């Protein structure tokens, strides 16, 4: 559960903390934003005096930075803001998908606009998106006088931990800012590659560049961990280079095709992810008299918890293992997808009778989704439940299994599926297992769910003792 | 003398003054060929009703021996039963009521046939029954609470619901006793108590059976729609109380109670289906029971996943439907 909270916190960070700001930003900015911001907002200035390196890095980067705004078409006011960076002479700019997601999903309600540090503004055309890595390429209405280059060592993956980096963008609509921090390699236990950057990223800086001392891009600002201090995340530049290449090669994304494109990218991505889960397979893990499947993929983050030390002494002991992927894809402000997690809880009655134990178990079987999302994007959940026996072997306990699924309204063929089971062979001991899969095709969910339930069995030593 | 005595008894006539609820308020024994009824003091039966004439009515025996009531020319006239038509004279049988002014009368001869005597059920015999039923209800309630207990037991968690149940039951029974007293003249508290407790016991057993059955048979409908049976039981309870108040109009009472129950069931079904459409999560069976109570044979894994697969078509249909209108407007500015 701790891991789930972690993911949720991360998701909340990448969604952009909601800070109501309806007034347009001051457009006339002094050359040095640190001097030009007498606002007592510590977030807008890096800690300590601005180093001379930062000064020169910012001076070089300034004409290549952008603020990307999403405006409500009818009101002509900004609804959300982010940052961007110019990457080609023709005027292609890079930003996060989540910065332009409102426009991508609702092109008739929103429009995109850029604001440069020199005060110029203009419309943006959405050129290409990569929802998996949270990137988007937009086209300016004019060519770029100068643009960013990518750091070769970042592309080769040879940046050393501890290297000094500078993140830039327009946090909280306060003005363009440069923040110093350090490169800390790729995040562990993540299916999607993400760079751990130890520096202060703030809402509004999403889509901005993080550069080396030479001013070359080492990563794209994307998220921060709300539970930590200075724990921020960057998108590796290899994905940015690939997307720019795709944007140049292909025709621009038409608004009508955006959803189909997102569907295609999500479908391909989940196929790879669940292929990996299937290929690595499950290894059995022992829980009291039972054995339950644990995925062997390396990118799951596992936590255990127990109520054994609770006061007053619990009347049933619960030992829980929960493994979840840190990866969560932002699709819209009210829709994130791609998480996988499974939980096994061994429940043992201490001084409960069979009925009381069953009542206790009922509480363990409550449905759990990772967050609850609106009806706008997801259909109602539908469930099937019954007692299930696996024909394949006699070394398996009888299960009471529940299959629940809901469909994504906008993305054909994708579903959230939760499959849970509780063993039904003992009066005062049971294993409660659950596998949650978000943004998965139905076929993959069926195949994986069946493997998961089919791998719940008696531990070898209890094989003869158990069952009826 | 015997013949004369018998003749005298035959001649004897009872004039009964009734309340609006047909209770006898006063009863006058009259003898003679003719009885006069009115407000004046020269009548055989004096009625203290300002709407009755001083000389309002006379009762006499006709040629063939039947009794006739005749209006003596009053302003307000003579009416039969609840009839609206003024009658100059009415042939009397023992059951017909007469109305003069605002007074109801019933005139019976000594030979009027009365119903056979009822067997006396001493109320003392009802109390043990009520106590037994009450004890059973409370015991079932306590056992059910105990079987669902997963935390440290606390006396208050057992005591409060029992007290609440007792108070509600007493209030319910008292209400019926008062109604009974008003409409039938007798409170019959013990009988109403026995009816209420018996139905409460049936209801408790029914609820437990639904709960266990839904798990044992793996049939969620039983838990989801247990309210249908519950309302039917409630309607039966009301009907039994009504029957206790008075044995008349049983079909009408059953119809009214049944109709109301059907309306309530319909309303709840509607509310539940609207609630389901509104909720994002479809519930599944929340109450597990011990494995030994399972009756339904398990599905094979193939059958289970075939059923799971069949949900896909339903979800795809739901995907195409318009999403329900959101009640909450959640538009605010954000920075990313």
Distance of residue A216 Cα from the nearest chain B Cα, in angstroms: 23
Q: Please answer yes or no on whether B299 and A357 come within 8 Å at the CB atom.
A: no
- Is A445 strand, coil or helix? helix
Residue A386: pLDDT above 60? yes
pLDDT band at residue A372 under the 50/70/90 scheme = low
What's the average model confidence in pLDDT over B302-327?
A: 84
pLDDT higher for B279 or B44? Answer: B44
N-term to C-term CA, chain B:
119
C-alpha A10/C-alpha A2 separation (Å) is: 12
pLDDT at residue number B241: 95
pLDDT band at residue A373 under the 50/70/90 scheme = low
Chain B residues within 8 A of A362 when measuring between CB atoms: 286-288
**Closest-approach residue (CA) in chain B for A446:** B305
pLDDT at residue number A400: 92
Residue A366 · residue B286 · CB < 8 Å: yes
- Is A62 strand, coil or helix? helix
Residue A415 · residue A441 · CB < 8 Å: yes
pLDDT band at residue B24 under the 50/70/90 scheme = confident
**Is B294's Cβ below 8 Å from some Cβ in A?**
yes
Return the sign of the alpha-carbon dihedral for residues A367, A370, A372, A378: negative
pLDDT at residue number A127: 93
The one-character DSSP state at A351 is S
Q: Please answer yes or no on whether B301 and A453 come within 8 Å at the CB atom.
A: yes
pLDDT at residue number B8: 46
DSSP string, B32-55: SSEEEEESSTTSSEE---TTS-SS
Q: Please answer yes or no on whether B281 and A173 come within 8 Å at the CB atom.
A: no
What's the average model confidence in pLDDT over A60-76?
A: 93
pLDDT at residue number B323: 64
User: What is the overall mean pLDDT for chain A?
Assistant: 84
**Closest-approach residue (CA) in chain B for A21:** B333
Residue B20: pLDDT above 60? yes
- In this complex, which of B147, B315, B334 lies closest to A379 when CB atoms are compared? B315
pLDDT digits (tens, 9 = 90+) for B62-82: 888 889 999 999 999 999 887
- In this complex, which of B288, B297, B308 lies closest to A400 when CB atoms are compared? B288
Q: 């339903």: which residue's tokens? A: B314
C-alpha A230/C-alpha A199 separation (Å) is: 5
Distance of residue B262 Cα from the nearest chain A Cα, in angstroms: 29
Q: 């203290």: which residue's tokens? A: B48
Distance of residue A446 Cα from the nearest chain B Cα, in angstroms: 7
Question: For residue A307, what are the CA distances in angstroms to A347, B25, B282, B321?
Answer: 10, 75, 29, 44
What's the average model confidence in pLDDT over A374-394?
A: 82
Tokens linked to A43: 């977030």
Residue A92: pLDDT above 70? yes
How many CB atoms neighbour CB A53 within 10 A?
Answer: 13
pLDDT at residue number A44: 42
pLDDT at residue number B183: 84
Do you find a cis peptide bond into A312, omega within 30 degrees of 0?
A: yes
- In this complex, which of A363, A380, A387 lies closest to B218 when CB atoms are compared? A387
pLDDT digits (tens, 9 = 90+) for B247-299: 778 899 999 999 999 999 999 999 988 877 666 555 677 788 999 999 999 99
Residue A198: pLDDT above 70? yes
pLDDT at residue number A32: 32
CA A394 to chain centre: 41
pLDDT digits (tens, 9 = 90+) for B190-222: 999 999 999 999 999 999 999 999 999 988 888
C-alpha B74/C-alpha A116 separation (Å) is: 107
Q: At what angle do helices A97-105 and A258-280 cross, to 10 degrees?
A: 130
pLDDT at residue number A461: 72
Q: 């006699």: which residue's tokens? A: A394
Residue A112 · residue A123 · CB < 8 Å: yes
Q: 């605010």: which residue's tokens? A: B332
**Closest-approach residue (CA) in chain B for A423:** B291
**Is B301's Cβ below 8 Å from some Cβ in A?**
yes
Chain B residues within 8 A of A351 when measuring between CB atoms: none
pLDDT at residue number A342: 92
pLDDT digits (tens, 9 = 90+) for A324-357: 887 889 998 888 898 899 999 999 999 899 999 9
Q: Please answer yes or no on whether B335 and A409 come within 8 Å at the CB atom.
A: no
Question: For residue A45, what are the CA distances in angstroms to A32, A226, A268, A368, B60?
Answer: 11, 19, 41, 41, 117
Backbone angles phi, psi at A47, to 5 degrees: -65, 135
pLDDT band at residue A244 under the 50/70/90 scheme = very high
- In this complex, which of A18, A356, A357 lies closest to B334 when CB atoms are compared? A18
Hey, which residues 92-121 in chain B have their CB within 8 Å of chain A? none
How many CB atoms neighbour CB B36 within 10 A?
Answer: 19
Q: Which residues of B238-248 are buried (b: 16+ CB within 10 A; e: fewer)?
A: bbbbbebbeee
Q: Quickly list H helices, chain B.
A: 2-11, 123-147, 155-184, 189-216, 221-224, 226-245, 250-278, 301-320
> pTM of this prediction?
0.79
**Is A310's Cβ below 8 Å from some Cβ in B?**
no
pLDDT digits (tens, 9 = 90+) for A388-410: 998 766 778 999 999 999 899 98
Chain A residues within 8 A of B336 when measuring between CB atoms: 15-16, 80-82, 96, 98-99, 203-204, 206-207
C-alpha B200/C-alpha B252 separation (Å) is: 24
Hey, which residues 124-153 in chain B have their CB within 8 Å of chain A? 146-152
Residue A204 · residue A195 · CB < 8 Å: no
Q: Please answer yes or no on whether B332 and A78 come within 8 Å at the CB atom.
A: no
Hey, which residues 187-226 in chain A have their CB within 8 Å of chain B? 203-204, 206-207
- In this complex, which of B147, B321, B324 lies closest to A356 when CB atoms are compared? B147
Residue B213 · residue B286 · CB < 8 Å: no
Residue A371: pLDDT above 70? no
Residue B14: pLDDT above 70? yes
pLDDT at residue number A17: 31
pLDDT at residue number A467: 41
Tokens linked to A302: 């596992």
Percent of chain B with pLDDT strictly greater than 70 = 90
How do beta strands B45-46 and A65-72 pair?
unpaired
Residue B2: pLDDT above 60? no
């Amino acid at each position: 559960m701790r891991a789930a909270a972690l993911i949720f916190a991360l998701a909340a960070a990448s969604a952009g903390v909601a800070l109501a700001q309806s007034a347009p930003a001051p457009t006339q900015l002094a050359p040095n934003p640190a001097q030009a911001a007498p606002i007592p907002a510590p977030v807008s200035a890096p800690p300590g005096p601005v180093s001379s390196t930062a000064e020169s890095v910012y001076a070089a980067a300034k004409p290549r930075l952008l603020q990307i705004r999403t405006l409500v078409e009818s009101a002509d006011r900004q609804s959300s803001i982010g940052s961007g960076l110019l990457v080609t002479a023709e005027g292609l700019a890079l930003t996060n998908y989540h910065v332009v997601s409102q426009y991508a999903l609702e092109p008739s309600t929103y429009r995109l606009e850029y604001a440069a540090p020199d005060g110029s503004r203009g419309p943006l055309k959405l050129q290409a998106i990569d929802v998996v890595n949270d990137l988007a390429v937009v086209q300016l209405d004019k060519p770029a006088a100068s643009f960013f280059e990518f750091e070769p060592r970042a592309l080769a993956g040879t940046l050393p931990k501890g290297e000094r980096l500078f993140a830039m963008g327009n946090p909280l609509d306060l003005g363009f800012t440069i923040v110093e921090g350090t490169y800390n390699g790729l995040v562990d236990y993540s299916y999607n590659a993400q760079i751990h950057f130890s520096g202060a990223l703030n809402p509004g800086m999403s889509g901005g560049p993080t550069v080396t001392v030479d001013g070359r891009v080492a990563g794209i600002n994307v998220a921060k961990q709300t539970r930590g201090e200075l724990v921020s995340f960057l998108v590796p530049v290899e994905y940015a280079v690939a997307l720019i290449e795709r944007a140049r090669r292909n025709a621009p994304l038409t608004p009508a095709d955006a959803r189909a494109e997102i569907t295609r990218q999500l479908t391909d991505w989940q196929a790879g992810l669940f292929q990996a889960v299937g290929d690595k397979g499950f290894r059995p893990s022992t829980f009291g008299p039972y054995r339950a499947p644990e995925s062997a993929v390396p990118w799951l983050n596992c936590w255990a918890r127990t109520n054994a030390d609770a006061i007053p002494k619990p009347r049933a002991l619960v030992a829980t293992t929960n493994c979840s992927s840190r990866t969560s894809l932002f699709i819209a402000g009210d829709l994130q997808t791609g998480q996988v997690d499974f939980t096994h809880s061994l429940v043992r009655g201490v001084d409960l009778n069979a009925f009381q134990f069953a009542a206790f178990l009922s509480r363990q079987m409550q449905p759990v989704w990772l967050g609850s999302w609106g009806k706008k994007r997801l259909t109602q959940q539908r469930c099937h439940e019954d007692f299930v026996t696996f024909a394949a072997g006699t070394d398996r306990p009888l299960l009471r299994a529940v299959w629940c699924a809901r469909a994504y309204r906008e993305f054909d063929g994708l579903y959230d599926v939760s499959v849970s089971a509780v063993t039904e062979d003992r009066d005062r001991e049971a294993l409660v297992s659950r596998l949650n899969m978000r943004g998965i095709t139905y076929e993959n969910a069926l195949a994986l769910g069946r493997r998961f339930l089919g791998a719940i069995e008696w531990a070898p030593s209890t094989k003869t003792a158990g069952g009826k | 003398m015997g013949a004369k005595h018998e003749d005298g008894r035959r001649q004897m006539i009872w004039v009964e003054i009734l309340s609006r609820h047909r209770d006898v308020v006063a009863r006058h024994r009259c003898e003679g060929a003719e009885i006069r009824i009115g407000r004046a003091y020269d009548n055989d039966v004096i009625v203290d009703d300002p709407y009755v004439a001083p000389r309002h009515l006379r009762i006499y025996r006709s040629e063939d021996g039947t009794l006739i009531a005749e209006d003596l020319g009053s302003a307000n006239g003579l009416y039969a039963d609840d009839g609206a038509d003024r009658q100059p004279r009415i042939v009397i049988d023992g059951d017909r009521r007469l109305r003069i002014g605002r007074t109801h009368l019933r005139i019976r001869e000594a030979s009027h046939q009365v119903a056979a005597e009822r067997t006396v059920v001493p109320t003392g015999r009802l109390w043990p029954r009520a106590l037994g039923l009450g004890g059973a209800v409370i015991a079932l309630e306590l056992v059910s609470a105990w079987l669902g207990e997963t935390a440290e037991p606390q006396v208050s968690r057992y005591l409060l619901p029992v007290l609440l149940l007792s108070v509600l039951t007493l209030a319910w029974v008292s209400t019926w006793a008062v109604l009974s007293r008003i409409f039938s003249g007798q409170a019959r508290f013990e009988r109403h108590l026995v009816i209420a407790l018996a139905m409460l016991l049936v209801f408790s057993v029914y609820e437990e059976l639904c709960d266990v059955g839904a798990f044992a048979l793996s049939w969620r409908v039983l838990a989801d729609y247990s309210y249908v049976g519950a309302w039917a039981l409630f309607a039966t309870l009301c009907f039994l109380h009504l029957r206790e108040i008075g044995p008349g109009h049983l079909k009408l009472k059953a119809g009214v109670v049944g109709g109301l129950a059907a309306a309530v069931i319909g309303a709840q079904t509607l509310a539940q289906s609207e609630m389901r459409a509104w909720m994002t999560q479809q519930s599944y069976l929340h109450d597990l029971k011990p494995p030994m109570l399972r009756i339904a044979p398990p599905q094979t894994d193939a059958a289970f996943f075939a059923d799971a697969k069949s949900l896909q078509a339903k979800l795809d249909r739901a995907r195409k439907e318009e999403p329900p209108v959101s009640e909450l407007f959640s538009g605010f500015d954000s920075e990313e």
